[in-house]
Structure formats: structure tokens, C-alpha cells
Structure 1
Amino acid sequence: MRSKMHKGVDTFCDLAKSEEEDQVNIGLEELEISINEAALDTLLAPCENNDQESTPLLPEQQQELRNRVCSRVRPGQKPGPELDPEPEGSPNQNPGSKKPGESFCEWVLRRFREMLSRLQKTWQAVLAWVEKKWASFVNKVKSIWSAIKNFCSRVAKYFSSLFLV
């Protein structure tokens, strides 16, 4: 069975053959979505298999994670402000359009790099969210562990002092 990502690559390659900007943009958008979906499926697979040791995410957290990734690019819409800004001197040009003197291949490569940049920013944001979400939990568990260690130490000292008398 072919994965979503392979299907997205195939779709992109088929659409790029047409050498039409709109078709390439659609192909890149679908590829980006399929990469995000494949990554999410891989990340959340242990949750679906009830493997709580591998992925301790509650269903609400899984949905929030999906929302954070999928909200970056919606089918039929241009990706958000993550696009690299165009150089000065081309204020009326669409950021996704070919630049003067740019070959079709150069344009496709530039657009592909922009998509990779958006993917990188999306997953960096997801990582930052996960780190922030779990950092406070980890700190609470550490403080509880410290309190338990202190309690056990005090109880051990107390009992040892009873037996030394």
C-alpha cells in the first residue's frame, strides 16, 4: 500500500508536467498537506494502537496537535504569511509567480523550497508547543518526586534515630 506522501509526490509530479503555474501550485499544496498528514499519522499511530507508553497524548491533545499542523495550509487557499517575501522592485507580482528571466524549473525549485520552509516552520512550531505543554508537567512531576524523596529521607532518619536510642 502506498503512503499518503508517495501519492502526494506522484500528484505533484503529474501536475508539474503540465508546466502550468496553477497546476504546480495545486500540486505543491497537496504535497505539503500529504506530508503533514503522513507525519501526523506516524506520530499518532501509537495512540490509535492504545500504546500509552509511546504516546501519552489524550484525545483532546491529539486533536489540538492535528489542528496546529493542519491549520497552516488549507486546501484551496494560499499558504499563510510564511512565504518568503519577494525582493523589492516587484510589488505587483504575485509571490508565487515566476520572476522575470526565471525558467520554469527554477521557479518550481523556488516554490518547492518555499514549501519545505513552511513545513520546517510548521514542525518547529509543533515541537515548541509540545515542549511548552510538557515542560510544566515535567517540572511538577520533578517537584513531587523531590517531595517524596525528602519525605522518605526524613522518615528513614526518624526511624533510624528510634533504633539507635
Structure 2
Amino acid sequence: MCFAKVHSAAIKDLRARMHQAVDRYCDEMENEESGCGQVMSGLAELEDDCKESYLDTMEAHYQEHHPELTPLLEKERDGLRCRGNRSPVPDVEDPATEEPGESFCDKSGAPGDKEELTPQKCSEPHSSKW
């Protein structure tokens, strides 16, 4: 399967970092008379904090268990950051809009693992608990 099993200590750390991000957001909203702009910027910051926490957790896991994939992961991380800063609706006229390339799962699979790492399996919802 495409999803890596992450050790419970890493998940506990991820959970703590996400809870801290949510607590910071809630504290900011309680302490201010929040207008729409402040709420939206606070939500964007919360989303960024959660993404960074998740990416840090996955990067640590891959560095420990699959160091040969670390350069690919850094490239994917940069791509995710760029996607997070773009409008959710791509502009058809924008030359920067490009077709999606090979996924991280496609790049990282060993030749024998190709059957297991098909794009369909990577996009299926993950049902097991960490």
C-alpha cells in the first residue's frame, strides 16, 4: 500500500503539534474582536501549521526508514507548499498551470512494488488506524 505506517511516538508528536496550533488559533479568536479578515488569516495560518506538522512527521519517518527517498520527499514538500499558496481554482490562461506529473508514490516504488503503488491505490482513502 502507498501509505507508510508511522510509529506511535511520531503520531503523538504530530497530534500534540496540531493541538497546539488549534489552541493558538482559538486563543487568537477569543482575545480579539475578530473580523472576517482576521478569521480568514487565522484559518490560513492554522492550515499551514497543520500541513507543516504533517510534512515534518512524514519527512522524519522517511529519513529514518527510507533515506534514499528523502530528495524526492523534499521536492514533493516544495510542491505542496506551492499548491497551498495558489488559488484552489487553476487559471486556464496561466502558463504556470501545468498538468500533474508522476506522483511521489510512482517515483518512490521499487520495480517489484509497481503493482502495489498504482495511482488508484494511492488515491484510495486510508482506513486503518495509526
- TM-score, scaled to structure 1: 0.42
Tell me the matched-pair count.
Answer: 89
Please report how far the alpha carbon of residue 32 of structure 1 lies from its aligned counterpart in structure 2 after TM superposition: 0.7
Separation (CA, whole Å) in 2 of partners of 1:140 and 1:6: 36
Residue in 2 that maps onto 1:10: 23
1:20–1:141 CA distance, 2 compared to 1 (3 A):
closer
- By how many angstroms is 1:12 displaced? 1.8
* 3-state SS of 1:80 partner: coil
Mark the CA change 1:6 to 1:141 in structure 2 (over 3 Å): closer, same or farther: closer
> In 1, Cα distance between the equivalents of 2:19 and 2:78?
23
- How far, CA to CA, are the matches of 1:140 and 1:7 in structure 2? 38
Q: Which has the higher contact order (CA 8 A, sep 6+)?
A: 2
Hey, what's the Cα distance between the residues in 2 that align with 1:30 and 1:40?
A: 15
Aligned to 2:82: 71
Distance in 1, matches of 2:108 and 2:76, equals: 13
In structure 2, give the amino acid aligned to 1:129: S
Is structure 2 residue 65 aligned with structure 1 residue 62?
Answer: no
Aligned equivalents of 2:55, 2:108: Cα separation in 1? 18
> In the alignment, is residue 82 of structure 1 matched against residue 88 of structure 2?
yes
Gaps of 5+ in 1: 74-78, 84-124, 143-165
Amino acid aligned to 2:86: G
CA RMSD of aligned residues (A): 3.3
Residue 34 (structure 1) aligns with: 49
Aligned equivalent of 1:20: 35
Pairing 1:138–2:111 present: yes
Contact 2:69 2:108 in 1 (8 A): no
Equivalents in 2 of 1:10, 1:140: separation in Å?
Answer: 41
